[in-house]
Amino acid sequence: MEREDLQPRVHDVAGAIETMETRGAAAIASEVADALRAQAVESEAETAAQLQAELRAVARTLIETRPTAVSLPNACRYILRRTVGDSVDTVRTSAVESAEEFQTRLATAQLDLGQVGANRLRDGDTVMTHCHSTDVIACVEAAVADGKDLSAMVKETRPREQGHITARELTELDVDVTLVVDSAARRYMNDIDHVLVGADAIAADGSVVNKIGTSGLAVVALERGAPVVVAAQTLKLDPATMTGNAVEIEMREESELLDADERDAIGEITVENPAFDVTPPRYVDAIVTERGQFPPESIVTLMRELFGEGSTEPWGTE
- Active-site residue list: 131, 200
Position 22 contacts ligand RUB (CB under 6 A):
no
Show contacts with ligand RUB in window 210-249 (CB under 6 A): 210-211
Residue span binding ligand RUB (CB under 6 A) among the ranges 77-85, 132-140, 167-175, 291-299: 132-140
Nearest CB to ligand RUB, comparing residues 201 and 204: 201
Alpha helices in 173-259 (DSSP H): 185-188, 214-224
Residue span binding ligand RUB (CB under 6 A) among the ranges 24-32, 35-43, 166-174, 185-193: 24-32
For the bound state, the minimum distance from the C-beta of residue 4 to ligand RUB, rounded and expressed in Å, comes to 30
Nearest CB to ligand RUB, comparing residues 6 and 231: 231
Nearest CB to ligand RUB, comparing residues 24 and 67: 24
Using CA atoms in the order 167, 169, 174, 179, what is the torsion angle rounded to 10 degrees?
0
Show contacts with ligand RUB in window 83-102 (CB under 6 A): none
Q: Are 152 and 189 in contact (CB under 8 A)?
A: no
The rounded radius of gyration (Å) of the Cα atoms in the chain is 20
Which segments within 55-186 are labelled E, that is strand? Answer: 126-129, 151-155, 176-180
Let me know the angle formed at the C-alpha of 176 by 175 and 182, rounded to the nearest 5 degrees.
105
User: What is d(CA 283, CA 247) in angstroms, rounded to the nearest whole number?
Assistant: 18
User: What is d(CA 221, CA 228) in angstroms, rounded to the nearest whole number?
Assistant: 7
For the bound state, the minimum distance from the C-beta of residue 69 to ligand RUB, rounded and expressed in Å, comes to 6
Residue span binding ligand RUB (CB under 6 A) among the ranges 177-185, 198-206, 262-270, 303-311: 198-206
Could you say which DSSP state residue 205 is in? Answer: T
Position 14 contacts ligand RUB (CB under 6 A):
no
Give contact residues for ligand RUB (rule: CB under 6 A).
Answer: 23-27, 69, 131, 133-135, 162, 198-200, 210-211, 275
